[in-house]
Amino acid sequence: MADGAPGGPLLRLFVRLVRRPLLPAVRLWRRNIQLRVVAATLLMSLAVVLALGFVVIAQVSKGL
């Protein structure tokens, strides 16, 4: 940290070790619109299923 850069050599090493395996996935994400659409659809579907599940659990616990 003496050179004014944020973080130390251990942080830079950690970032380099984590970043290298993720680069192919990031490239695939950026170049593939179909992957982004499918992922967004799955995430929205998961959110809806979770919300409806909480509603059903609340109704059952009230003694529907």
pLDDT band at 1 (very low <50, low <70, confident <90, very high): very low
Chain Cα centroid distance, residue 64: 36
* Interval 35-39 mean pLDDT: 96
pLDDT at 23: 92
Give the pLDDT score at 35. Answer: 95
Measured CA distances, 7 to 17, 36, 52 (Å): 15, 33, 44
Least confident of 5-14, 23-32, 33-42: 5-14
Distance CA 32, CA 44 (A): 19
Give the start-to-end residue ranges of the domains of the chain. 9-62
